[in-house]
Amino acid sequence: MKAAITCHQISHSFPTGEERFQVLNDVNFSIQQGDMVAIMGPSGSGKSTLMNMIGCLMTPESGEIEILGQATNRLNRNDLAEIRRDHIGFVFQQFNLLSRTSALDNVKMPLMYFDEPVTNADQRAKECLELVGLGDKFNSHPNQLSGGQQQRVAIARSLINQPDILLADEPTGALDSKTGNEIMALFHRLNRQGQTIIIITHDSEVAAQARRTLHIRDGKLIEADAPSSAPLAATTAQEQSA
């Protein structure tokens, strides 16, 4: 199976006055299509910078990142934007929904960035909302939804472009533990349907529910857990109620 993400000797630094701060240092890993991987580390570990590179929001100072076999450091800004649009769905800690817009229209929003009008946009958005368990909330606005429901709308929005990779940044960080577990159960169900999911987190309990965890600290990959399906199997009861 072709790798979804491959990182080769990724290093990156940022200027801090007259010096430079090394935020990533010789990071190497690969994530296969259909996998569910957590990238875990404390604040300042470099995980957010790595997430931005995986999401084609920036390119590394040295090394190479391949998205579905395509090296991103050889691409210009427009090419990177096309990869984001066509292959990556984003889920954020803060749901980033438009407050005066219905759930349906929030989900459709990414389709505005396609060069040609997308046929059946309403139907696609409804299917995505149904997939995350909000088939009865098409016309609801964010202030009419709970935090968990708003995150489900955000997940539906991330799926509207049928992405190869779902990239979730602290997706349970703004939720209570029960609702966070329900969102993780939803990710498990999507993963079982073949969706590649990468979760960026500082929370070891969230990371433990992935198939594999990459631990990053001080810009270095310090440990990569062996692949396992056990965490997913343990969430079956939650998934059935998600």
129-153 pLDDT, tens digit per residue, is: 999 999 999 999 999 999 999 999 9
Task: Identify the bridge partners of residue 145 per DSSP, sorted by sequence position.
Answer: none
* Of 155, 127, 157, 153, nearest in space to 140 by CA: 153
Say if residues 178 and 17 touch (Cβ distance below 8 Å).
Answer: no
Q: What is the pLDDT of residues 148-171, one digit of tens each?
A: 999 999 999 999 999 999 999 999
Say if residues 234 and 225 touch (Cβ distance below 8 Å).
Answer: no
CA angle 207, 213, 219 (to 5 degrees): 105
Instruction: Quote the number of domains for the chain.
Output: 1
Task: Identify the bridge partners of residue 169 per DSSP, sorted by sequence position.
Answer: 200
Average pLDDT over residues 174-184: 93
Comparing 11 with 1, the larger pLDDT belongs to 11
- Read off the pLDDT band of 120 (50, 70, 90): confident
Say if residues 129 and 135 touch (Cβ distance below 8 Å).
Answer: yes
Query: How far, in whole angstroms, is CA 83 from its chain's centroid?
Result: 14
Task: Identify the bridge partners of residue 10 per DSSP, sorted by sequence position.
Answer: 27
With respect to residue 113, please indicate whether it lies within any of the assigned structural domains.
Answer: yes
Here the CATH number for the domain that contains residue 195 is 3.40.50.300
Average pLDDT over residues 110-118: 74
For the chain, the straight-line distance linking the first and the last C-alpha, in angstroms and rounded, comes to: 29
With respect to residue 161, please indicate whether it lies within any of the assigned structural domains.
Answer: yes
Q: Which two tokens stand for residue 89?
A: 């769905």
* Dist. CA 233–CA 209, nearest whole Å: 9
Kindly state the DSSP code that residue 226 receives in the 8-state scheme: P
Q: Give the range of the structural domain holding residue 30, as residue numbers without chain letter.
A: 3-236
Q: What is the pLDDT of residues 198-241, one digit of tens each?
A: 999 999 999 999 999 999 999 999 877 766 544 444 444 455 45
Q: Which two tokens stand for residue 240?
A: 């059935």
With respect to residue 242, please indicate whether it lies within any of the assigned structural domains.
Answer: no
Q: For residue 21, is pLDDT > 70? A: yes
Percent of the chain with pLDDT over 90: 80
